[in-house]
C-alpha cells in the first residue's frame, strides 16, 4: 500500500511519550495547522529523528497519513532556538505560546499568518540582546494577533495598528503603552472562546 508523503515544515510544540521508544508530537505546521504525529523509535539512542524533533524547535518534516494518525517518516532540523531556550524567561514565553496554540487550534486547519507570527517571534527571542521590555511587548502583541487571526478579537479600532504587518522591535514601547487595552482584549477573547 502506497502512502503519499507530505513535505512540510513545523514547530514542535510538545510531546508525550508512547510505549518504550515512541513519542506523540504536537506540531504546528505551515499547511495543516496543529497536528499530532507519531514518531516511532525516536527515544532510542540510535534514532536519527531524535535531534531533529526536540520540543520548541523548527524543522522540515515528512509525514504520512495513516488510517487514524499522522506518522513522521523523516525530519531535518532548521533551528533549535538554543539561545531562547537557554534563557528562562524566553523559554517560559515559548512554552506559554505553545500551550495557547494547543488550546485554541483544533482540526487540522492551516493558518499561514499564525504560523509566520509564531515563527518570527521565536526568531526574535533567539537573540542574547532581547530585553525584558521587548519580551513582554512581544508576548502581548503575539497573543493578540493569534487570537485575532483565529477570529476571537473582532472589530477593535484601538488595536488595529497591532493586528497587521510584521513584528517591529521598535513597537515595544507603543505596545507596552497600550498594555491595559491589549490585556483587556486578550482576556475578553479568551473568556468568550470558552476554551
The model's pLDDT over 38-96, given as tens digits with 9 standing for 90+, comes to 888 888 877 778 788 899 999 999 999 888 889 999 999 999 999 999 999 999 999 99
Contact 132, 90 (CB under 8 A): no
Q: Which domains does the chain have, with CATH numbers?
A: 5-79 (2.40.50.140), 82-193 (no CATH)
Give me the mean pLDDT over the 172-194 stretch. 88
Residue-wise pLDDT tens digits, 132-173? 999 999 999 999 999 999 988 877 777 888 887 777 767 788
CA end-to-end span of the chain? 39
Identify the pLDDT of residue 169: 65
Nearest Cα to Cα of residue 104 among 57, 141, 142, 147: 147
Helix ranges restricted to H, 37-111: 82-85, 88-104
pTM: 0.91
Contact 90, 135 (CB under 8 A): yes
Amino acid at each position: 500500500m502506497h502512502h503519499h508523503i507530505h513535505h512540510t515544515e513545523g514547530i514542535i510544540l510538545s510531546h508525550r511519550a508512547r510505549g518504550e521508544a515512541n513519542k506523540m508530537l504536537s506540531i504546528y505546521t505551515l499547511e495543516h495547522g496543529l497536528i499530532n504525529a507519531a514518531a516511532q523509535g525516536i527515544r532510542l539512542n540510535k534514532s536519527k529523528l531524535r535531534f531533529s524533533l526536540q520540543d520548541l524547535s523548527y524543522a522540515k518534516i515528512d509525514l504520512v497519513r495513516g488510517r487514524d494518525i499522522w506518522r513522521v517518516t523523516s525530519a531535518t532540523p532548521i533551528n533549535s532556538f538554543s539561545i531562547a531556550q537557554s534563557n528562562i524567561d524566553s523559554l517560559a514565553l515559548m512554552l506559554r505560546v505553545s500551550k495557547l496554540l494547543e488550546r485554541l487550534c483544533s482540526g487540522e486547519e492551516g493558518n499561514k499568518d499564525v504560523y509566520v507570527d509564531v515563527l518570527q517571534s521565536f526568531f526574535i527571542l533567539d537573540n542574547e540582546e532581547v530585553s525584558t521590555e521587548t519580551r513582554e511587548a512581544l508576548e502581548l502583541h503575539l497573543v493578540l494577533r493569534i487570537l485575532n487571526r483565529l477570529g476571537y478579537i473582532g472589530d477593535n479600532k484601538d488595536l488595529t495598528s497591532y493586528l497587521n504587518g510584521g513584528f517591529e522591535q521598535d513597537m515595544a514601547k507603543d505596545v507596552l503603552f497600550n498594555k491595559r487595552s491589549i490585556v483587556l482584549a486578550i482576556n475578553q477573547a479568551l473568556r468568550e472562546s470558552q476554551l
